[in-house]
Chains A and B, each alone.
Chain A
Amino acid sequence: GIQVEQSPPDLILQEGANSTLRCNFSDSVNNLQWFHQNPWGQLINLFYIPSGTKQNGRLSATTVATERYSLLYISSSQTTDSGVYFCAVVMTGTASKLTFGTGTRLQVTL
């Protein structure tokens, strides 16, 4: 099956700092989503981005499907950004099954 690797696995930032999270996948995909899992376990949709670039406030994401990677940018980080960030993909030719990455655990400190 498809492999989805995220880096870095852990990240500690001071409030106000910027960061870039990376997601690499091993096969062709036709869906890619970024999620934030908050400390209460809720998966919050950030982006649905099978290709191209999107922005939403302090967050933006870029997917280069031909090179099999996606990036999530967080600017001016806040303590509420803490949690685990997952990317998840649907491999081309399969049903809608999402395969999740290994996750990046982010801690934003004051």
Chain B
Amino acid sequence: EAGVAQSPRYKIIEKRQSVAFWCNPISGHATLYWYQQILGQGPKLLIQFQNNGVVDDSQLPKDRFSAERLKGVDSTLKIQPAKLEDSAVYLCASSLTGTGPYEQYFGPGTRLTVT
């Protein structure tokens, strides 16, 4: 069974530029999560989707971050404009949906460096 796929794996941009990350969850997983992991810390949830609806985006900096999951499968996370403090690894995870909670599985992450 294929795991969570993410691309790109690495990205270097200058501050004030924009960037987008892509995630494809495990087949059959209706819940998708984006986490941000700053160096030396544990991941922190940015946004959670169930199918194509947002369940929790309370920690998403909405002035610069946006995310969508239009067809309830893959998802895109965008940052515009980027700041130096956005340098981090962006992890996508997925899980089953139902009366859970269910085990979450993580992709390999996208390492973003903002210069």
Q: Which of B60-115 contact A (CB under 8 A)?
A: 89, 91, 93, 95, 100-106, 108-109, 111
- Tell me, in angstroms, the Cα distance from A97 to B45 when the chains sit together: 7
A-B contact count (CB 8 A): 59
Decide: B102 and A96 in contact? CB cutoff 8 A: yes
Decide: B31 and A101 in contact? CB cutoff 8 A: no
Decide: A41 and B56 in contact? CB cutoff 8 A: no
Which chain B residue lies CB-closest to A47? Answer: B103
Decide: B108 and A98 in contact? CB cutoff 8 A: no
Tell me what chain B mostly uses at the interface: helix, strand, loop, or mixed. strand
Q: Which of A62-110 contact B (CB under 8 A)?
A: 86, 88, 90, 95-98, 100-103
Decide: A102 and B104 in contact? CB cutoff 8 A: no
Residues of B within 8 A of A48 (CB): 103
What is the interface of chain B, defined by CB distance below 8 A to chain A?
31, 33, 35, 41-45, 48, 55-56, 89, 91, 93, 95, 100-106, 108-109, 111
17 A-B residue pairs with Cβ-Cβ distance under 8 Å, sorted by A, are: A31-B100, A41-B109, A42-B106, A43-B91, A45-B103, A90-B101, A95-B48, A95-B101, A96-B33, A96-B55, A96-B102, A97-B48, A97-B56, A98-B45, A98-B93, A98-B104, A103-B41
